[in-house]
Structure formats: C-alpha cells, structure tokens
Structure 1
C-alpha cells in the first residue's frame, strides 16, 4: 500500500519515506502517458500556450485586496551545504572612478543559478530525457556551447495567469514536510479540498513544503541528499489538469529520487514530456501567510524571465497579487 502524507507516521529526524520505488520501465510508460508533444505550433513555449488572453483576463479578476507578494529569495553570496556555487555581487564602480557630479555607483551580479539557492525559472531546453527535449527535438542538434536553438527562455516571454498555492504544512498542521517526504497525487487532491481550490487549465501551481522555514529555523542542509517534493505518481494529475507552470520552495523533485537511475524525474516529466516550465527555490512563506489571512489560495500570478537568447532559464522574482 502506498504511504501518503495524510496517513504517514511522523518521520525520523532528517529524513522521510519517499517511496514507492519506480523502475525505469515504469517511468518510461509514465513519460509516454503524460507527453504532450505535437500539440502546439509554438512548441518551445510548451504549456504556456494554454494561457490565452481570456485566461489572463479572468486571472485579473482575482485581485481584491491589492496585496502584492514577491516570491524570490535574497541573492545568496554565501557558500553553504545547499549553495555550492554562490552568486556573485561586487561593486564595479563605487562612485569615485570619475570626478564631477553626480556621482555614479555601479555593481556586477552573476550566478550559476541552476542550483538550490537562486530563485529561477527552468526553460524547456534545460532538461532532455533519452536524448530528446520537449516535442521530441534531438538535444544534440538543439543545444551546444553557443546556447539553445529550441526551448530557450527567450521564447517564453512573460506569463500572467491564475496562481494556486498548495500549502501542505497548513493542510497537515505541521511546520514543514520532512526532508525526503514525497507528495503524491492523493496528497494534491486532499490539499485542493482542504484549501478550497481546484487546479485548472493554464494555472501556475506552487507547492509549499515549508523547507525554507526549516532552513531559517534549523540551518541549511544538503538538499540533493534529502528534500521534500513531488513523487512521479503525482504528475498524471497535473498533466490531466493542463497546468502551465509548476514551482515550489524546493525544486519540485523529492530527493532521494524514487526512480532507479534518474536524479530528477519530475524535471524530466515536466520539462521534456509535458512542456511545463519550472520555478525552483521560491520563498513562499509570505505568500502562505497572505493566503491564510485572506482565506483563499488562488491569485493573480506574474513572472517575466530575463530575455536571454539561447538561455536555459533565468533568475526571476515572481509576483502574486491578491
């Protein structure tokens, strides 16, 4: 019997059951089942094609209080167990380079952002499975040292749609999910019922595990070794609902991976099979508090990645407007 969040015993400190285990053959069947290749003419925008002007108009009707909540973590320049490649920030001109008025101050920032510390968006070219990007495009023909010619972040543009927060600690009455705890399809459905929302076509779905709160209270840990996130058996529900974007306060994948030989199976399903871009490493604490205060978990959602031709993603600051 599959163990789910609703009936799981309290996990041991530092870890939790992330089963059931999935074979590569089972994963390949799941990949084929959720695949949406050949559906859109603008294939490198993937599931963002689902967000029509009418869906944008309906999403704007969710604005009531006018509360604006940013979801980006601070730019993290400090090394740690979850930040092996810290972001860079230094002054390139502290204001004394040239005489005269006004004084001008300039700085430089840089990041190898596909990690565990920078809030960022993964474009469709970020992940290939069995040599193929989304829509069946051969990765070796589409991505090289110059960047990506298919599925680049520059093809996405901005996204304005309905956002939905699935706040699992609020549903379960706990401070956070234990590192390694898997979230299953039944858990997503239970969260919908508890929070009064239903995931729908074109939605941006955000999953809060409470991991950032745990980090702030108990310190950083190696997120590659253990982090709460989605089990692959949750992905058919998200594919059926036709979501446009998936994100969370982790990187969506439960770790350790439940799939034999695959380190990021949810990334492979979302990006390469479903065409759903991902948002990693969000700060959802303020949004969780705002949603609880207003008693609703759907809102206007906006994100505009940097326009980087050939880029595999972008640092971002998504916004929720309630």
Structure 2
C-alpha cells in the first residue's frame, strides 16, 4: 500500500494505494498484456457480436427521470440545417450534398460504463473524526470531481470556479487503457429465468458450478439476466414494474458476494440490467449505509468498473449452444475528458 497525499486511512478491504498513490485506474491495472493474449486465445471462429442496445433505448425517462433519450439534430451552415445541404446553395458549380449532425446525449442513458468518478462516499480519510465526500483512492469532491457547487455537511451550496467535471478518475482514463481482454459470461437467465430472483453468493456459486464457469484475476465478467432483451421487446415503452420484478440482479448487501468480487480480482462487472445490483437494495441494518452497496464496494473501494444495460442475448445464447463461457471483449468508452460515465458499443469476438 503506497502512501498518499490525500488520505491516511483507507476503507477496510479497499485497494486504495495498491497501484500507487495517484492511481486512477483501479483494477484496470490487472488488465495486462497477458490478459489481452488470453482473450485473443478465445477467438476460434472470428465471429463478432455487438453488445450495445440502440442508444435511444430504454425509451422515455421512466427508468430514471434525470436521464433522457438522445436528441439528434443537424449542425447549422449559414444558419440553415446542414442535413442534405446542397453546396450549390453557396457555389453554383459544386456537386456535393452534405450531411452533418450533433447530439445532446445523456451519457448513462443506455448501454454504458460507470467510471470510478461515478459514485463516491462519505469517509473519514484523515482519521480526524470528520467524514468527507471522497472517491476511489481518496480523490475529493469539490477539487478532483467538480460540479457547479460544493455541498456542505447540511446540504448548503458553495459555487465552484474553474473547469467542471472529473478532473481525476474521468472516463478518458478508461478509454486510453483501451479495455480489451478476456471476458467471462455468467448466464443467470438460463438458470433463474424471468423469476426476478435476487442473486446472492449462494445463487451465483450454484450457476458457476453447474456451468463450470471459472473467473480469474483480470477477467471482465458479464451477467445475462434478460433485462435488455425485455427492453428491446418493449420497443421504447418500458414497463418498469415488469422489468424489475421479472429479471435478476445481484444482492449488493451480501457480504459473501462482495468478498467474492474482492477475492477473484475481476476488473469489471457488466450486466444487461439497470444497475448490476438490485435497486433499491435490501434494507440497511446499520445506522448509515450506502444506498447502492455494490457500487460502493466496486467503484469506491476496489476500483472495479460497472457496465449496465449491455445487450448480451445473442452472445450468451451462442456461447451456451457451443459449450463456452469465455470470449474476447473490446469495450472502450468515449475518450471524453471529464465525463463520469460513457455510452459504449462493445464488441465480443468468439
């Protein structure tokens, strides 16, 4: 554990400092060239699968009122829509017809990555009895991850100055590291169907044993629940109650499940559902708890990345038919400096 200029105490069981005092990659450090070669070794047929939903799914804003579908529109040329724009309007001798567009995009509306700047926690990093709002490896809210205001202990707001966004831990770090390596499919739907089962350690181990799936350090782990397929079937008219009651999600408060994530050394947990973990989580039995306990364990403590609402149906079906669970995954996010999350168009190769 390296010394850090930002903290003297780290959360119990965390990896803070393990990859260096100023590390911003977390478990991506375990996605080594050897893991890339292991992923490449899983390519037997050269067949590829797109693991992204269309980015205008789920549809509307009923899953999350703060996240809205993309708005696609033309750029402007001389104040006119630059879509099927004939350049003869400017030059009678020109033959060209131009299309050029832009998008207003909620970065975590559809198939997405969560960066380590997505979820932090209150934690006493200085050992002075005063918890502070911090993120992975002790990076601070208000100086390293910056919004329009800094929130005080009682919710009071102080305006900030300078660049906003994730000055540290931003999604561009993920993009620069490429995110390519060996991935493992865990097919929850094949065993629990559309039962809405909450998956704890015991349920997960039963699936791994039955399907002879092995997760090793540096692997990217995918969980098929059927949620994304159900979204597609709903054709941009999501039925929230049916979506959440009939598909599985991980029990984020299961301590044994959290320990399994710690012990395996996996780099990312990726699911076709809304939050990887069950949301809302099981009731808290302590005085203070994270409302998203798996997000806190993965993003805040371990530096494990989360992928949500990936489209895994065709790949999972193919792998099961062919008696396989491993494949090469290539899944960089947008290289957008300062963003805390990103859409993705992941590609699986088998």
TM-score interval, normalised by the smaller of the two chains: 0.7 to 0.9
Report SS of the residue matched to 2:97: coil
Aligned partner of 2:130 in structure 1 is none
TM-score by length of 1: 0.82
Report SS of the residue matched to 1:126: coil
Q: How far apart, CA to CA, are the structure 2 residues paired with 1:264 and 1:222?
A: 19
Aligned partner of 1:192 in structure 2 is 208
| Of 54, 62, 85, the match for 1:96 | 85
User: How has the CA–CA distance of structure 1 residues 119 and 216 changed in structure 2, closer, same or farther, with 3 Å as cutoff?
Assistant: closer
User: How has the CA–CA distance of structure 1 residues 80 and 305 changed in structure 2, closer, same or farther, with 3 Å as cutoff?
Assistant: closer
Question: Which has the larger displacement, 62-71 or 211-220?
Answer: 211-220
> CA shift at 1:241, angstroms?
0.2
Aligned partner of 1:301 in structure 2 is 329
Q: Check the 8 A contact 1:120/1:279 in 2, yes or no.
A: yes
Aligned partner of 2:135 in structure 1 is 133
> CA shift at 1:283, angstroms?
0.8
> CA shift at 1:113, angstroms?
2.6
Establish whether residue 67 from structure 1 lines up as the match of residue 51 from structure 2. Answer: no
Question: Which has the larger displacement, 299-308 or 76-85?
Answer: 76-85
Establish whether residue 37 from structure 1 lines up as the match of residue 20 from structure 2. Answer: no
> CA shift at 1:80, angstroms?
4.9
Larger Rg: 2
Q: How far apart, CA to CA, are the structure 2 residues paired with 1:129 and 1:120?
A: 21
TM-score by length of 2: 0.76
Report SS of the residue matched to 1:141: coil
Aligned partner of 1:252 in structure 2 is 276
What are structure 1's unaligned runs of at least 5 residues? 1-30
Aligned partner of 1:242 in structure 2 is 265
Q: Check the 8 A contact 2:188/2:248 in 1, yes or no.
A: no
Number of aligned residue pairs: 286
What are structure 2's unaligned runs of at least 5 residues? 1-9, 76-81, 89-93, 123-132, 148-163
Aligned partner of 1:82 in structure 2 is 63
> CA shift at 1:139, angstroms?
2.3
| Of 108, 119, 122, the match for 2:102 | 108
Q: How far apart, CA to CA, are the structure 2 residues paired with 1:101 and 1:177?
A: 59
Over the aligned positions, Cα root-mean-square deviation in angstroms equals 2.2
> CA shift at 1:33, angstroms?
4.7
Aligned partner of 1:213 in structure 2 is 229
